Amino acid sequence: MDLLDSMRMYVLTVDKGSLSAAAAQAGISATMAGNHLRALEERLGMQLMRRTTRRQSLTAFGEDYYLRCKEILRLVSETDVQAQAMRLAPAGRLRVSAPVTFGTQALVPALPDYLQRHPHVDIDLDLSDHVVDLMEGGFEAAIRIGQLPADAGLVARPLAPYRLMICASPDYLARRGVPVLPSDLRGHDCLAFSAANVTQWRLQRDLDVCRVPVEGRVSINNGQALREAALHGLGVVLQPALLLEADVRAGRLVRLLPDYALPSRPMHVVYLPDRYRSPKLRSFIDHVAQRFAPEEA
């Protein structure tokens, strides 16, 4: 017989005051309840109860064993609850991919709240502007900027669109002049994000859409480096607003053509369909979706 089952029956018998009452409570026969008790006594080699036709009483050893059984069963129950909680609570290492600029400027600042709320989760954040294969790279989630391919086989949660901004340093504008119209950009050194291979910038005011061919002497495959190039007066930069806003507020950069809208890019957090059962992944997806929720229309 199972030792813990026999312990439970013994404790129940003592608590109920009789073997028959304990059997009824447990939903088993009095014979089976008696078998549990005899199995304990045979295993221990000690008598636990003195039983007569009218009453039962505990031996000195039986009293001590009763208290020990209650403590053992309490510990087992607490351990079971703890194990169940750990199965349901987010825990473990979570591997996430994100673009360099968004990851550095937005996702990393959003991690302290998440990690404080989920102390048993560790984050392995890989920053790259290349689109990674979640399965091959061992990633559980990724932030994707731009249109998603229809056949990617991923589940996507929409995030707030990725806004862009055109800026230049005061020193550069003092030397080269301030563009007033989108067409003025043709005469400027426009810093190119080489990873995107973009040859024209699209600006819009009301229904007027302008597509301006841009060229310059410097192209870089990293947003932070493009920001530094703009700060050092090397040209006009088109980069995410979250990368440039602080410099604009501080006067290190000047926002250009503010009356023209730049196309925002869709952004999603994506994951493989079969991974969402993981509590740590669900908690991370929910946190990111809430932190970077699209603005309501």
**Domain spans in the chain, listed from the N-terminal domain onward:** 3-88, 92-154+266-291, 164-255
Residue 285 has pLDDT above 90, yes or no: yes
Helix (H/G/I), strand (E/B), else coil: 101: helix
DSSP for 12-41, written as a single string? HHHHHSSHHHHHHHHTS-HHHHHHHHHHHH
* Residue type present at position 133: D
- Distance (Å, whole) CA 50 – CA 257: 95
Given a cut of 90, is residue 21 above it in pLDDT? no
Model confidence at 97: pLDDT above 90: yes
What is the per-residue pLDDT for 87? 64
Most confident of 8-22, 76-90, 103-117, 147-161: 103-117
Mean pLDDT, residues 111-125 taken together: 95
pTM: 0.64
Q: What is the pLDDT of residue 225?
A: 93
**Mean pLDDT calculated for residue range 179-185:** 93
Q: What are the tens digits of pLDDT across the range 62-93?
A: 899 989 998 999 888 877 776 665 567 788 89
Number of H helices, E strands in the chain: 11, 14
In 91-178, alpha helices (H): 100-102, 108-117, 134-137, 170-176
Mean pLDDT of 233-251: 95
Average pLDDT of every residue of the chain = 89
Other Cβ atoms closer than 10 A to 96: 22
Instruction: Give me the pLDDT at residue 297, please.
Output: 45
Q: Binning pLDDT at 50, 70 and 90, where does residue 153 land?
A: confident
Q: Is the pLDDT at 115 greater than 60, yes or no?
A: yes
What SS3 state is found at 127? Answer: strand
Residue 140 burial (C-beta neighbours within 10 Å; 0-12, 13-18, 19+): buried
Q: What is the number of other CB atoms lying within 10 angstroms of the CB of residue 152?
A: 12
Highest mean pLDDT among 84-93, 251-260, 288-297: 251-260
- The whole-number pLDDT of residue 82 equals 66
Q: Are strands 208-213 and 200-205 parallel, antiparallel or unpaired?
A: antiparallel
State residue 53's pLDDT score: 62
Over pLDDT 90: what percentage of the chain? Answer: 52
Alpha carbons 224 and 240: distance in angstroms, whole number: 10
First-to-final CA distance of the chain: 66
For 34-52, how does the pLDDT look when each residue is reduced to its tens digit (9 = 90+)?
898 899 889 889 888 887 6
Task: Determine the pLDDT at residue 26.
Answer: 84
If one looks up domain 92-154+266-291 in CATH, what number appears? 3.40.190.10
Q: Tell me, yes or no, if the two domains 92-154+266-291 and 164-255 fold the same way.
A: yes
Reduced to 3 states (helix: H, G, I; strand: E, B; else coil), residue 81 is helix
Does the pLDDT of residue 185 top 90, yes or no?
A: yes
Domain 3-88: assigned CATH number: 1.10.10.10
Q: Which residues neighbour 112 within 8 Å (Cβ) at sequence distance 6 or greater? A: none
Predicted confidence (pLDDT) per residue in 188-235, tens digit = 999 988 766 677 899 998 888 889 998 889 999 888 999 999 999 999
Q: Which CATH superfamily is domain 164-255 in?
A: Periplasmic binding protein-like II (3.40.190.10)
In the numeric block, which tokens belong to residue 196? 């995107």
Q: What is the pLDDT of residue 253?
A: 97
